[in-house]
Structure 1
């Protein structure tokens, strides 16, 4: 069996509140892997980062080729410009003038496009390490959420199995009642249907759990033997993050590589517009088209900023909601524990039946599941806050 435990974690994400460990059942000397080790195993076994690094190598190669060719495009544009104005001044053929104009405009657009593309490529190359680091952090966060989902499914299965046991007991009681002619056959059949539905739900959940376990093992590069299992322990408490929405938004924008690239791309589009604005005749269709395209880019950036503001706001309020849900779940589980203790006392003195006792236990299990899920939701929301503060977009 492989076991995952929690311990203090501050090196993976700034505000993380938990850690996991994984223990091979067959090993005599049990080796415990921290969350940081697990995430490193995932990244080491992932080929996505390698692919990304290769893509940046191609970007560098493309940049070098286009950079070397930029001077040629500028010279071609200058030649075409001279040819156009020479033809315009000395030719009486409007067809020839139009042809030379089209050649000039085409070479000017090619030069402007290459200039813009090179600016963006240069930005990407300059920030390559940060791109890789940001993507690594996002992938680690995604894989961590997979591990938490394992825990939640496992706890859901525990509750579902307890529910199945309760419905089985109810069906057995129904059989006895039916034999004593205290229940109709229709009610007996309904009790059986309810029990069989719980069993079916359990089987479905087991299949989902097994598939997720298999994916986790593949992502870790582990060859499972037998029936691998995970025992994941949720965080035991939460550490509220004291930050306002405006501070979160400001921190994200100041650290966001995506936001910086969008701003830089807008500058590159302005360079593209300025080059062609000096080529096209003012108030011509080509000039107006160039102006409209630039206005559209400005509008796209405005909409991007609005979407970014909304994304940060959603994360911020989701975090606040998880705190409220946690406080409610904490009160609920404490109440369920008291009710269970009271039921246990009542059962010992014969005041309630074993079926009632099973019901109280199931109520406590459901409350505990909701409480653990609220802790995990807080942990996830805290990680999202930390990522945003580091300038990493989660969507």
Structure 2
């Protein structure tokens, strides 16, 4: 297929050189962005190791609550411990979801009466811009693309590979592979989002793609930091709970004094984990204010504060369960005076921390966002 002969004349030699240099610069920038994302992917995998290491501590705490009879306090503490574990798990889940959305996008194959959407990798395949060659060179390139020796690099010349390619293309209605290997190769090019564009269209495409990458990468980095902070905060709480269980007599269930201590751990953890996951946004706000911003709207950005909104709700459930367990345990006749005083003091301090957090403008804005 030939292009109008005057299409190349729309750009001067200097303009064409500038467009080529810009596309090359963007490719380098995209490479840097993807190296950062790979670091997030590797780090997220390492975060999963910590719960595996702490599994004995978690099982020890839950075992002490579920053996030798299960009472109301035990059930409340189980809810609190499960909520405590749910925050880092949900944060990691959202992080992996962000990583998946960073590396995969929707590929819209429109035109010619088609409206087909296929998944594609974030980095598309490339074709030479359609206006970079003259008519003779374009015809030679078209002949080379149809050369069976080259086509077989993408579609191996055997029936097994052809059937595999046909099954892959037939999944998406409207993506016809054609009767021969060249048609199959064209279908795979479309799946790889390889489209012949002009040089200026390539410039516009890379501009939009760069903006999308940068916006998603900032969310990805923030969620990684929040997941790490939530995991570390919860790990400290789990290890503290395990120390309480180890201090109990072996083979026995949770005692009343142990219930007070474990409830205290959850009551301290709840405001601490909320403080931890909201810290990155506060750090960014402080940075902006230090640079002279009179006000910021970071806390109102739904994409940057999704982890906080989810964590607030989970932590609230854990805190309420632990508060109920603390009150019931504190008024129990078997509770010593010192344990009762310590438990009620922790409950009062945690209540003050939660009240201050709930009445602050930042947390109100987080709670309003759906």
TM-score (norm 1): 0.27
Bigger radius of gyration, 1 or 2?
1
TM-score (norm 2): 0.28
